Amino acid sequence: MSSTQPPHHYAIILYPGFQALDIFGPLDILNIIAISHPNLTISLLSSTLDPVSTILPSSSSPTFGQSITPTHTFSSPPKDIDVLLVPGGFGSRDPEIVKPAVEFIAKIYPSLKWLLTICTGSVVAAKSGVLNGKKATTYKRMLEWGAREGPEVKWVQKGRWVEDGNVWSSSGIAAGIDLMYAWVAHVYGEEVSKGVADASEYVRRGRDDDPFAERWKDE
């Protein structure tokens, strides 16, 4: 368990084309923890307060997706955010879509206790410069792209998740769930993390359990 005080205020970055599981996998773990920690707060941030969809504006299937309504805008964020989660998704690959998020991450990072990125959310964070000189990983199928977008990041080719100080990053999509369980064990204790995983009937994967690094290596 971390020697620092557990966080109180969580926040999630939203942008069009975010990956649903990147958010809802880790968030469901926090939902369960919040049952026994009723002082937790969650904020959802985007460019506007309009609902944000998993669908890209240019999608050929414009009606199949889900939307989340933000609670705050990047220009008027809540105070005292402890933990910021940054998802990946198809939208992360569009510079114009993620530009407001990139600028917000650069601004808020110095005051955060932890920055958690899921899938290509690490590339969004890398664009802000806050990962420069740090170890991080991302969706292995997009690792070369991540290296181009964040050339000063120490990208890790194999790893279900990677931690470097207060920055934790995961590999692709479902790996964010394993990152969150590991992070929960670090912050709240292994007993809490195991209890939530068992209650969810989820089998956790370890940091080095990353077969997809090999699977996507040559694509």
pLDDT of res. 1: 65
Distance spanning both ends of the chain, measured CA to CA? 38
Residue 51 and residue 15 in contact, taking contact as beta carbons nearer than 8 Å: no
pLDDT of res. 2: 61
Residue 25 and residue 97 in contact, taking contact as beta carbons nearer than 8 Å: no
pLDDT of res. 3: 58
pLDDT of res. 62: 76
Residue ranges of the chain whose pLDDT lies below 50: none
- For CA atoms 121, 70, 49, 63, the dihedral sign is positive
- What's the mean per-residue pLDDT of the chain? 95
pLDDT of res. 6: 85
pLDDT of res. 200: 97
Residue 171 and residue 212 in contact, taking contact as beta carbons nearer than 8 Å: yes
pLDDT of res. 147: 96
User: Could you give all domains of the chain from N- to C-terminal order, each with its CATH number?
Assistant: 9-215 (3.40.50.880)
**DSSP secondary structure letter of residue 6:** P
Q: What is the pLDDT of residues 23-35, one digit of tens each?
A: 999 999 999 999 9
CA–CA distances in Å: residue 88 to residues 63, 79, 99, 138, 179: 20, 24, 14, 9, 14
